[in-house]
Amino acid sequence: MADPVVRRATVALPGYPAGAPPLTIALLSDIHVAGPDMPPSRLARIVGQVNALHPDLVLLAGDFVSDKQLATRRYSTAEAVAPFAALRPAIATVAVRGNHDHWRSDGDIRRALARAGAVVLTNDARRFGPLVVGGLDDFSTGHADVARTLAAMDALGPAQVLLSHSPDPFPALPRPVGLVLAGHTHCGQIRLPLIGALATNSRYGARYACGLVRERGEVLIVTAGLGTSVLPFRFGARPDVWLITVRAK
């Protein structure tokens, strides 16, 4: 139940307007609200920590709820999402859904996020200031439509960021996207000395399981997330929030 580490990166984004001031993005994922490790009160404290970073955008990469069997308490969708209403980004809060959200109830998650002030993107895109943010629906449950999402992004112009719950769409993108943000892997959640992560929930193993990856001139950032799945604890994979500064090349 440690407070998340704040990890920082700066990305020179293709197409970002020359002379425009940089923007900061706070990336959060895998909240998995449930007892004992992630009650809404803990999420509310983390929201306060994020607000203290003064981000321009907050991007939420899915898995807001948890129905794990070892939970000591399960919370309704409304209870799980309500603390996000206190987020205070300068521009907007943007969200996509993860596999746990689809397993529980698509409609409830969308409505709860909207009440909390978030823009929910489902294989769609919106422009926020100088950035185009595309929101890819969950890949692991078969809801992702990459072609539709990229087309929506292209219709809005350059300086593009793709938000996805899972990192697995990254290597198969049909054309470059300057910055891809994801979660889902928990950075392994349980990482043993000398052995590493016991599981990553990625078909690529450790390749895209954690942190900042640069390939083919593109940048992927995968957050460890905040909560837990299956087992209500972490080891060697501390929860984190990424604060990403995007600027012109």
In the predicted structure, residue 2 carries a pLDDT above the cut 70:
yes
Single pTM value for the model:
0.96
What pLDDT digit, counting tens, does each position of 170-225 carry? 999 999 999 999 999 999 999 999 888 989 999 999 999 999 999 988 999 999 99
Q: Domain residues for 118?
A: 5-247
The CATH number of residue 201's host domain is 3.60.21
Q: Which of 168, 160, 207, 161 is nearest to 184 (CA)?
A: 168
How confident is the prediction for the chain on average, in pLDDT? 96
What pLDDT digit, counting tens, does each position of 4-62 carry? 999 999 999 999 999 999 999 999 999 999 999 999 999 999 999 999 999 999 999 99
Ramachandran quadrant class, 180 (left: phi over 0; alpha: psi -120 to 50; beta: rest): beta
Share of the chain above pLDDT 90, in %: 92
Query: To 10 degrees, the CA torsion angle through 174, 176, 180, 182?
Result: 20
**pLDDT confidence of residue 107:** 74
- With b for 16 or more beta-carbon neighbours within 10 A and e for fewer, the 75-97 pattern comes to bebeebbbbbeebebeebbbbbb
Q: Which amino acid is residue 245, in one-letter code? A: T
Using omega within 30 degrees of 0 as the cis cutoff, is the peptide bond preceding 36 cis? yes
**pLDDT confidence of residue 109:** 92
In the predicted structure, residue 106 carries a pLDDT above the cut 70:
no
Number of domains in the chain: 1
